[in-house]
Amino acid sequence: MPSSSQVYRSTRSSQPEELSFEDVDFLSKWADLSFNELAFEILRLYINENEIPNADLKDLITRSYSTFRSSEVTPLKKLDDNLYILELFHGPTYAFKDVALQFVGNLFEYFLTRRNAQKDLTKQPRDIITVVGATSGDTGSAAIYGLRGKKDVSVFILYPTGRISPIQEEQMTTVEDENVHTLSVNGTFDDCQDIVKSNFGTTNILFLFLFQLQKQAKTTNKVRFVVPSGNFGDILAGYYAYRMGLPVDKLIIATNENDILDRFIKSGEYAKEQEVGVKATYSPAMDILISSNFERLLWYLIRDNVPEVNKSDEKAGQLLNDWMKQLKEQGKFKVPAEVIDAARQVFDSQRVDNDTTVQTIKQVYDKSADKYVIDPHTAVGVTTSYSFIAKDTEPIQYISLSTAHPAKFSEVVNKALDSFDGYSFDKDVLPAELKA
């Protein structure tokens, strides 16, 4: 499920399904496409027309993104001369995960409906899908809203008790559809993730939305994307887009105090902070000990850069598996110079603490003419963007991803903004749909 060309395997030990990177003349071919048109062109590169005809694919895209509150789906807001904010929170759950999971839910239903129509005719048992996921907040609610009410689909979401925001928990636990099940786990996000990983070794589906950004920014300068990163999913999609030809100067990882990714970029060592564990921060969706999608990047870096691997898919998987065993048994592993050097050609990073996160929310609100409010995850990205801008010696455009609506994190937003005269969370931030 869904079809023969859409099989998702681990990159460890065995040879993964081929993900080819097309030579796309992005700027001349796609510069003026709408979001839906762009989604169609990107998806058509990887989905055969025999599997989903053009009309059906366009309908899937239309239905998936008609649920968004912005006609642009992911609008771009200019924050400063060299800084744009890409707002990814206009979907049903006010979080970036909706961009992928609204489409995924409809895709599952499409293949199930087609397959079960044939099974009904021959009186065979119907196919069903059971989706099991672990969430640090946004993934769970987005998966639920993408799959709720879908026939022959059941979804089970695990989340860490007391480590997500009240709105995130409410969005997951108040859905009454019979196919939705939420489970609160006494532990951290990594504990939830370990439970899921013990049952499944499949990869997730990444929607390569980053292609639209160069078009919207309308710039001839170099472009860098700044991505608030915990589990490395969004920025991995950016890496795939980069390999497909998106003109990117750098992909910048913005982390909170759970900074395993920042420490890796700076040192070449991927190490869990065993004694400290997961730190509870103001940006809880990034509160992780291990970034589960990061190993997918490592597989490409190994295959393309380690001499003894010599571009062998299988050897890359075997070496990656050895590293993951070291991580599990010793809590860390060190990559060779050729791997970290290759990573640094594309990626950079920065760590942002809680106090700075609050200060950035305050400064953006104070300095923007329209009193713009950002959530704490976005603040981590904006802080990182301004830090890099301050060091630039040439004009470089930054596009920082805004991954969640600020209303989902009232405690931190109010901590930053309550001192401003005239500020009201209910009036200025909270959407009508989220009011009790």
Q: What are the catalytic residues?
A: 97
CA 338 remoteness from chain centre: 27
Burial class of 4 by CB neighbour count within 10 A (0 to 12, 13 to 18, 19+): exposed
Say which amino acid occupies 50.
N
How far apart, in whole angstroms, are the C-alpha atoms of residue 360 and residue 378? 9
Q: Which helix (H) or strand (E) holds 134?
A: strand 129-134
Best CA proximity match to 259, nearest among 234, 283, 225, 223: 283
Any residues with CB less than 8 A from the CB of 189 and at least 6 apart, and which? 134, 135, 136, 160, 163, 278, 287, 288
DSSP 239: H
Q: Are 380 and 259 in contact (CB under 8 A)?
A: no
Any residues with CB less than 8 A from the CB of 361 and at least 6 apart, and which? 373, 374, 375, 376, 379, 406, 412, 413, 416, 417
Best CA proximity match to 246, nearest among 216, 214, 220, 218: 214
CA 348 remoteness from chain centre: 17
- Tokens, residue 239: 């890496």
Q: How far apart are the first and last CA of the chain?
A: 39
Q: What's the count of helices (H) and strands (E) in the chain, helices before strands?
A: 17, 11
Burial class of 411 by CB neighbour count within 10 A (0 to 12, 13 to 18, 19+): exposed
Q: Are 358 and 282 in contact (CB under 8 A)?
A: yes
How far apart, in whole angstroms, are the C-alpha atoms of residue 231 and residue 290? 7
Q: Are 79 and 364 in contact (CB under 8 A)?
A: yes
User: For residues 137-169, b (16+ Cβ closer than 10 Å) or e, as one string?
Assistant: bbbbbbbbbbbbebebbebbbbbbeebbbebbb
